[in-house]
Amino acid sequence: MLAPASGATDAVAASGLASLAWLLLALPAFGAAVLLLAGKRADKWGHLLGCATIIAAFAYGLALFFTTLGQGAEERTSELHLFDWIPVGALDVEFGLRLDPLSLTFVLLITGVGSLIHIYSIGYMAHEEGRRKFFAYLNLFVSAMLLLVLGNGFVTLYFGWEGVGLASYLLIGWYQYKPEAASAAKKAFLMNRVGDLGLAIAIFIMFKELGTTTYTDVFARVDELSSGSILAITLLLLLGACGKSGQFPLQAWLPDAMAGPTPVSALIHAATMVTAGVYLIARSNPIYNLSADGRLVVMIIGGVTLLIGCIIGCAYDDFKKVLAYSTVSQIGYMILAVGLGPVGYALGIMHLLTHGFFKAGLFLGAGSVMHGMNDEGNIRRMGGLAKYMPVTFATWALGYLALIGIPPFSGFFSKDAIIAAAFGEPGWRGYVFGGVALLGAALTAFYMTRLLILVFLGKPRWKELKTSEDGREYHPHESPWSMKIPMIVLAVGSVGAGFFLENGERLAGWLEPTLGPLQETHGALDHTMVAILSVALSLVGVALAFLLFGRKPQPTTRPLRVSFPVRAARADLYGNALNEALFARPGTWLSRALVFVDNKGVDGLVNGTAALLGGSSGRLRRLQTGFVRSYALSMLLGAICVLGALLMVRFS
Amino acid sequence: MTFLAQVELIKPPEIEYSAIAPVLIVLGAACVSVLFEAFLPKHQRWAAQVVLTMLTFIGAGTALGLYAGAETTTAQGITTLSGAVAVDRPVIFLWVTLLLLGFGSILLIADRSVEPGGAFVADAAVRPGTVQDRAQATRTGMQTEVFPLTLFALAGMMVFVAANDLLTMFIALEVLSLPLYLMCGLARRRRLLSQEAAVKYFLLGAFASAFFLYGLALLYGYAGSVKLADIATATAGSDKSDTLLFAGFGLLVVGLLFKASVGPFHAWTPDVYQGAPTPITAFMAACTKVAAFGGILRVLTVAFERTNWEWRGVLWGVAVASMVIGAVLGLTQTDVKRMVAYSSVAHAGFLLIGSISLTEQGLSGTLFYLLAYGFTTIAVFGVISLVRNADGEATHLSQWAGLAKRSPVLAGVFTFLLLALAGIPLTSGFVGKFVVFAAAIQDGLAPLVVVALVASAVAAFFYLRVIVLMYFSEPAPDGPTVTVPGAFTTIAITVGAAVTLVLGVWPSFALDWAGAGGFIF
Amino acid sequence: MLQPYLPLVFMFLLAGAFALFSVTAAPYIGPRRYNRAKLDAYECGIEPSPAPIVGGGRMPVAYYLTAMLFILFDIEMVFLYPFAVSADKLGLFGLVEIALFVATVGFAYAYVWRRGGLDWN
């Protein structure tokens, strides 16, 4: 069989160690099942079982990875047939796993970060009732996520896709007593449904045109399709990716999803699930390679999202929401990268991996801060915490440096490569996308530095407030070891992963059997120039933030208001609003406008559709009068319509 | 001419008793059940009826198993009773489905632990609100006629899906409908609502039967025969007016669509689902749907396949109407039984998509969908029957607020079932939708599938609303309690939920079996 | 060609003429003694009672029950006529079938009888 354009190698049947790959799915699923079924009996050991299954899966993943590494590039792609899932005539959906460099990379990311976050959750959720249920859901998530990346066809992927959506829904709504958790969970579910619709239709088109949905067959025969169908498939897959990955215009659910517990935000809404969209596009690279228009739309979406994300990130005062918009923006980078095509697939995956490390670390740091501050999320009520939480501060700062792309931290390597590749696009595209990506880097540095200053540096404003809004006194303290160790491990990843993966194109070479060789680009600006520019712009962003927020102490609250912490906080907010308006008025307006559009426009569209349906439903409902005579009349009218239509079709 | 001398014997039709044994067993048991009602003293009837009904299901199941098992070597199926009844692969699948779902419904019907004395009134003839009525409210007896009525209805359904001529089909339609009308009016609580439902269902059902019968007459005028096969032959080449054919087809189909509660012929569904005793609603929602779509599949495939170019567009529109009506109107329902009713209207639209695909995949997909949907529905109504307050079932959605805090297990099961209705993977609902839509896509119904996907996305909203309500709202202080079910209801709910899961994870055996062969005529 | 049907046409004509004759002749021939009962709608010679003796304005429900039972059994018995006409042609098979049929009706009869459907009160 002729190898398709991407250079993806043919799959061989899995053998040896790989034939046990079903364990990857079965272990976490087993954990989830035991935890859910055992009930209260599992309270004592439930969290340990949850961790053990994930760690076991990680260990197996590692073993599999090293085995595969020992094989030649030709043998690295294998398939494991488990059973025939939906066999009906021509439609034969088998339940099989595809083990190749791309999926194994994700397996390691998911189980690796998953293990760390499971361990972290032992400490974080220690005071929670029903902790075992939390672990059950986390295990369920890991299992579904692994299915998503390991499936050997689009239907299996869809299966995992819905599974992670469900787990995410359950976990966002974890704090059942909070109304915002309920509405956030609902919003996430519904917005994801919009994306899922796109994915489902794309799968049906493939099935209709090609009669198959497995990766091997689809990719081998995709060039039989008309360019129109290919464009439709690429756009619909992109819609699915937008829903799951919080990309424009479906980004609004992701910040709201921060209502869930912090480990969930770190694992699902930063490191793994939200990157599923990137995975989907990278996995479908043979399809995207055939449609330049489709890729352009992907790039536009990525570019728009990355700007929106960092501009709104400047405006929020909630620790986790700023990080969430940062995630939106960073995934925008990844989407932009995979939109670039063969020059960018591997770069997108690389940024995904480094981002998995440092963003998970940043979230865990945020969780650690909130854990020590009575679950306080408002950064204006923090400040000067570095002294009280040295380990959290140190690990968080390393993640911060990685995110804003300071060499030699990991974000530098991965983000820079994307910016350089964007500049490599021909013509105006190079300048537009490269410029957007550069601007994004500067803005990222700005809002992240603001976050750093307001939380860890400056005056400890919480001392003046004394108590959090629920009346508990602030006693900032370092978190237990179960939380510290994962943060340290992730910090190490934030520091070293970028160089390690970039050095000698280690990652790109490893992914070649799946994504094709990483092509070089030579654009308007060469790589060194881009690197210098992006670091310089980031430093400008940092400096600006220090000028605005760090040079002088944040306005001290007036003595009168000390006893009214809420009003004091409000005054604090006014002061800063003034501050911002004087120095960065245009930026503020822009971000305000975007927040407005985000809240009113996009939400409005969602709510408006719901209102339209609800309204018409309410009006139509009145037709259901309860009178038999009107029911009979409606039947009669229906019958007349059916008859009329039949006869019209016949005699026209 | 002397005809007195030569008596020429009329040749009786060949009857393949082993093939129709399941139906004969159910009908015979129904007759015995009537005799039980006649001769047994009141206090023995319930126990005797339950035992008899269980034996019936075992007997009919065994007979069916023996026949289907022994027949593996022979061809796809046979027709018997001079071609009035066909026993082919789809019919065997539908019979098994009907018997399984009927068994599940009977478990709910027979349960007397949830509502003391059962969900059925002791004496349905007493006028609601009178002194006698208040007196019987405290009695724990129940109208055990519901058992023979269920058996008769079930037998009607079994004949309905196997009927190979329209007259047999009509008789079967009446045999299945008349008991259902009665059963709707037997609720122990909210008796006026229940009786209203029964009258409405009867009146509209009679109206729909008239449509069916009129269509039958016109088709007879067209083809000169009521046999499906003869109608198919006539459509191949006949000098009769096509007006007869299409007018007859339209009227016939309206009658069938009514039974299947496809919009816009669904108007009875919410009222009747709400008013009928919940076990009966489960029986209607699961088994009637199976029977009606079994009939629709056979009529469309056998008699009208050749003319599908003319009618397909029309049923296309009907399917869209049904999905839209079900999905949109479901959004504002405040009663959980009405909500499920609208959900069933939307599902009828999905099923109709599979039915008009007219391919092997369409047939097997629709059959699978029916099986999957039936089990989920029975479990759903089983759960609904457990949430109660002093007035009986608490079906208003506001009363379900915070249910997860009162009974996490029940809320969990219900959530799972709702997700199955919404078509989330890992449930049978997903596989069912997938196979039906895939078949439709293959047969060139892609736009319809897009509408269906949108409709199911909209419908997901109201399922989700219930989930959110159960998990994220504060329970009302005077909210309902969750009754601990007895063995019968527990089995029905457990089996329903388990099958929903099994068919979602490992559907291949059922799909294989649903796709084993086509209609014989 | 339609000759065999000619007597039928005459039959119809005769019937129509008789009806016409009766209706038109009656006012001329008969005595005209009007009373309230005669002028009432649906007149049948008996004055409809505004309040029947039992049931406070309604017919006793047992009346409907009996009427309905009569109709049901009556209609079922209609099937016996075609059987009786061609009993010899149907042979043993037909006999068994009709016996089963009668038995089924018998079940229903037993139910009605045992559950008091035939008691007037």
Return the pLDDT at A635: 83
What is the distance between the alpha carbons of residues B22 and B67, in angstroms, rounded to a whole number?
9
Determine the distance in angstroms separating the CA of C6 from the nearest CA of chain B, rounded to an integer.
24
What is the distance between the alpha carbons of residues B266 and B343, in angstroms, rounded to a whole number?
11
Return the pLDDT at C1: 60
What average pLDDT does chain C have?
A: 79
Best to test chain B binding among C83, C92, C111, C118 (most B CBs inside 10 Å)? C111
DSSP-derived 3-state class of residue B417: helix
Provide, as residue numbers in chain A, all residues whose Cβ is less than 8 Å from the Cβ of B437: 204
| Nearest C-alpha neighbor of A196 from the set A164, A156, A244, A251 | A244
Extents of the domains making up chain B: 17-131+138-514
Overall pTM surpassing 0.80 (yes/no):
no
Which residues on neighbouring strands pair with residue A92, listed in sequence order?
A: A87
Residues B375 and B431 sit within 8 Å (Cβ to Cβ): no
Q: What is the pLDDT of residues A396-454, one digit of tens each?
A: 888 898 888 888 888 888 888 888 888 888 878 888 888 888 888 888 888 888 888 88
Best to test chain A binding among B371, B434, B466 (most A CBs inside 10 Å)? B434
> What DSSP letter does each residue of A145-196 carry, written as one string?
HHHHHHBSBHHHHHHHHHHHHHHHHHHHTTSTT-HHHHHHHHHHHHHHHHHH
Which residues on neighbouring strands pair with residue B120, listed in sequence order?
A: B187
Q: Is the sign of the CA dihedral B133, B136, B138, B141 positive or negative?
A: negative
Report residue A639 as tokens: 């019958």
- Find residues 563-622 of chain A whose CB sits inside 8 Å of chain B: 610, 613-614, 616-618, 620-621
Return the pLDDT at A189: 79
Q: Going by beta carbons, is chain A in contact with chain B, meaning 3 or more pairs sit under 8 Å apart?
A: yes
DSSP A380: G
- Residue B233: which residues within 8 A CB-CB, separation 6 or more? B223
Report residue B449 as tokens: 């599938």
Return the pLDDT at B62: 94
| Nearest C-alpha neighbor of B90 from the set B307, B366, B303, B284 | B366
What is the distance between the alpha carbons of residues B160 and B170, in angstroms, rounded to a whole number?
8
Residue owning tokens 């009663």: B335
Report residue A389 as tokens: 């939480």
What is the distance between the alpha carbons of residues A639 and A44, in angstroms, rounded to a whole number?
64
Q: What is the pLDDT of residues B416-455, one digit of tens each?
A: 999 999 988 889 999 999 999 989 988 888 889 989 998 9
| Nearest C-alpha neighbor of A580 from the set A278, A227, A394, A316 | A316
Residues B216 and B286 sit within 8 Å (Cβ to Cβ): no
Residue owning tokens 């108007």: B267
Which of A201-205, B310-314, B492-496 is modeled with the greatest confidence?
B492-496
Q: What is the pLDDT of residues A344-384, one digit of tens each?
A: 888 888 898 888 888 888 888 888 888 887 777 777 777 77
Best to test chain A binding among B204, B343, B472 (most A CBs inside 10 Å)? B472
Burial of residue A68 (CB within 10 Å: 0-12, 13-18, 19+) is buried
What is the distance between the alpha carbons of residues A630 and A633, in angstroms, rounded to a whole number?
5
* Cβ within 8 Å, pair B211-A176: no
Provide, as residue numbers in chain B, all residues whose Cβ is less than 8 Å from the Cβ of C108: 34
What is the distance between the alpha carbons of residues A372 and A390, in angstroms, rounded to a whole number?
12
Extents of the domains making up chain A: 291-583, 585-621, 626-652
Report residue A453 as tokens: 């200053």
What is the distance between the alpha carbons of residues A18 and A287, in angstroms, rounded to a whole number?
27
Provide, as residue numbers in chain A, all residues whose Cβ is less than 8 Å from the Cβ of B203: 628, 632
Q: What percent of chain A has pLDDT over 90?
A: 4
Residues B276 and B149 sit within 8 Å (Cβ to Cβ): no
Query: What integer is the mean pLDDT of A257-283?
Result: 86
DSSP-derived 3-state class of residue A13: strand
- B200 vs A249, more confident: B200
Q: What are phi and psi of A388, to 5 degrees?
A: -85, -25
How far are the Cα atoms of A177, B130, C61 from residue B126, in angstroms, in the given order?
48, 8, 12
Q: How confident is the model at residue A6 (pLDDT cuts 50, 70, 90)?
A: very low
Residue of A nearest to B307 (CA): A650
User: Which of B267, B314, B430 is nearest residue A645 as measured by Cβ atoms?
Assistant: B314
Strands B387-389 and B77-80: what pairing?
unpaired
The count of CB pairs under 8 A between chains A and B is 185
Size of chain B, expressed as the number of residues it contains = 521
Residue owning tokens 């409405």: B200
User: Which of B9, B31, B38 is nearest residue C89 as measured by Cβ atoms?
Assistant: B9
What is the distance between the alpha carbons of residues B100 and B115, in angstroms, rounded to a whole number?
24
* Cβ within 8 Å, pair C111-B34: yes
Which residues on neighbouring strands pair with residue A253, listed in sequence order?
A: none
User: Which of B8, B9, B39 is nearest residue C114 as measured by Cβ atoms?
Assistant: B39
| Nearest C-alpha neighbor of A300 from the set A336, A345, A276 | A336
List chains adjacent to chain A, taking adjacency as at least 3 C-beta pairs closer than 8 Å: B
Which residues on neighbouring strands pair with residue B79, listed in sequence order?
A: B86
Strands B387-389 and B392-393: what pairing?
antiparallel
Provide, as residue numbers in chain A, all residues whose Cβ is less than 8 Å from the Cβ of B431: 86
How far are the Cα atoms of A334, A511, B273 from residue A630, in angstroms, in the given order?
57, 65, 18
What average pLDDT does chain A have?
A: 79
What is the distance between the alpha carbons of residues A560 and A51, in angstroms, rounded to a whole number?
50
Q: Going by beta carbons, is chain A in contact with chain C, meaning 3 or more pairs sit under 8 Å apart?
A: no
Provide, as residue numbers in chain B, all residues whose Cβ is less than 8 Å from the Cβ of A649: 310-311, 313-314
DSSP A381: G
Query: How many other β-carbons are positioned within 10 Å of the β-carbon of residue A422?
Result: 32
Query: How many other β-carbons are positioned within 10 Å of the β-carbon of residue C109?
Result: 18
What is the distance between the alpha carbons of residues B430 and B432, in angstroms, rounded to a whole number?
5
ipTM: 0.83
Residue type, A344: G
Query: What integer is the mean pLDDT of C55-66?
Result: 68
Best to test chain B binding among C64, C65, C107, C114 (most B CBs inside 10 Å)? C107
What is the distance between the alpha carbons of residues A253 and B455, in angstroms, rounded to a whole number?
22
What is the distance between the alpha carbons of residues C17 and C7, in angstroms, rounded to a whole number?
15
| Nearest C-alpha neighbor of A24 from the set A118, A117, A145 | A145
DSSP-derived 3-state class of residue B296: helix
Which residues on neighbouring strands pair with residue A79, listed in sequence order?
A: A13, A98
* Cβ within 8 Å, pair A87-B511: yes
Q: Cis ω on the peptide bond leading into residue B264 (within 30° of 0)?
A: yes
Residue of A nearest to B432 (CA): A86
| Nearest C-alpha neighbor of B459 from the set B359, B318, B272, B322 | B322
Determine the distance in angstroms separating the CA of C3 from the nearest CA of chain B, rounded to an integer.
22
DSSP-derived 3-state class of residue A2: coil
Q: How confident is the model at residue B478 (pLDDT cuts 50, 70, 90)?
A: confident
- Find residues 60-89 of chain A whose CB sits inside 8 Å of chain B: 83-89
Quickly list H helices, B129-189: 131-137, 146-162, 166-184
Size of chain A, expressed as the number of residues it contains = 652
List chains adjacent to chain C, taking adjacency as at least 3 C-beta pairs closer than 8 Å: B
Angle at C88 between CA C83 and CA C92, to 5 degrees: 85
What is the distance between the alpha carbons of residues B440 and B445, in angstroms, rounded to a whole number?
5
* Cβ within 8 Å, pair A649-B313: yes
Count Cα atoms within 13 angstroms, Cβ side, for A446: 25
List chains adjacent to chain B, taking adjacency as at least 3 C-beta pairs closer than 8 Å: A, C
Q: What is the pLDDT of residues A121-173, one digit of tens each?
A: 888 887 777 788 888 888 989 999 999 999 888 888 988 888 888 888 888 88
What average pLDDT does chain B have?
A: 89
* Cβ within 8 Å, pair A617-B249: no
* Cβ within 8 Å, pair A642-B250: yes
Determine the distance in angstroms separating the CA of C79 from the nearest CA of chain B, rounded to an integer.
16
What is the distance between the alpha carbons of residues C104 and B33, in angstroms, rounded to a whole number?
12
Provide, as residue numbers in chain C, all residues whose Cβ is less than 8 Å from the Cβ of B9: 89-91
Q: How confident is the model at residue B55 (pLDDT cuts 50, 70, 90)?
A: very high
Give the relative orientation of helices B360-384 and B89-110 as an angle to the nearest 10 degrees.
0
What is the distance between the alpha carbons of residues A325 and A253, in angstroms, rounded to a whole number?
11
What is the distance between the alpha carbons of residues C77 and C70, in angstroms, rounded to a whole number?
10
Q: How confident is the model at residue A39 (pLDDT cuts 50, 70, 90)?
A: confident
A131-145, A545-559, B152-166, B307-321: which range is least confident on average? Answer: A545-559
Query: A176 and chain B: CB distance < 8 Å anywhere?
Result: yes
| Nearest C-alpha neighbor of B276 from the set B371, B373, B460, B149 | B149
Return the pLDDT at A515: 80
DSSP-derived 3-state class of residue A225: coil
Which residues on neighbouring strands pair with residue B187, listed in sequence order?
A: B120
Residue owning tokens 């209203």: B196
Residues A85 and A77 sit within 8 Å (Cβ to Cβ): no
* Cβ within 8 Å, pair C90-B10: yes
Quickly list H helices, chain C: 6-29, 36-39, 61-78, 80-85, 87-114
Burial of residue A107 (CB within 10 Å: 0-12, 13-18, 19+) is buried
Burial of residue A133 (CB within 10 Å: 0-12, 13-18, 19+) is buried
Which of A110-114, B101-105, B113-117 is modeled with the greatest confidence?
B101-105
